[in-house]
Amino acid sequence: MTKEQARREVRAALSGGSFRVTKQRLAIVDELAAVERYETAKELHQRLSRKRSGIGLATIYRTLETLESVGAASVRTQGRGESAYLFCSPEHHHHAVCTKCGKVEDVPCRSIGRIERDLTQALRFKTTQHRFEFFGLCDRCS
């Protein structure tokens, strides 16, 4: 996804949730979209400080929470209980995670229907939602 697409999606998501779209928020969105991996507020703060953005840690925390609440970021808990965020399109998709560099790539959802049908047949299990994560090495690391 390009930065522009990401910004557009987030703008739409933010205004849909009636949040204000500020320059600082967009700078955080750009940074998070560009890193393509899970980052904590502190890590993002370091990155943005190196660019002399002047954005405070509290603003980053709040913005990341907002992004998650509008479905534009996914969150996971890291080592010391810190939340790490990944820029994520609100559209349903899956992730391919590089176990070496942490890069996360989006995987469109295809061929899942067949697995769901198999489940229904074998277990009489009716799927209402699913989540897949693939682990391996990205193009650069392999």
CB neighbour list of residue 80: distance below 8 Å, 6 or more residues apart: none
- Locate 18 and state its tokens: 């009636």
If the CB atoms of residues 34 and 141 are measured against Zn ion, the closer one turns out to be 141
- Minimum CB separation from Zn ion for residue 80, in Å? 24
- Minimum CB separation from Zn ion for residue 49, in Å? 25
Are 31 and 48 within 8 A, CB to CB? Answer: yes
Q: Which residues bind Zn ion (CB under 5 A)?
A: 88, 98, 100-101, 103, 109, 112, 138, 141
- Minimum CB separation from Zn ion for residue 99, in Å? 8
Q: Which residue in the shown chain puts its C-beta closest to Zn ion?
A: 109
Look at residue 137 and give its three-state secondary structure. Answer: coil
- Minimum CB separation from Zn ion for residue 52, in Å? 29
**Sheet (strand 39-40) strand order:** 39-40, 83-87, 73-77
If the CB atoms of residues 18 and 128 are measured against Zn ion, the closer one turns out to be 128
What are the backbone angles phi and psi of residue 136, rounded to the nearest 5°?
175, -150
If the CB atoms of residues 34 and 101 are measured against Zn ion, the closer one turns out to be 101
Query: What is the number of residues in the chain?
Result: 142
If the CB atoms of residues 22 and 127 are measured against Zn ion, the closer one turns out to be 127
Give 11: exposed, middle or buried? Use CB within 10 Å, 0-12, 13-18, 19+.
middle
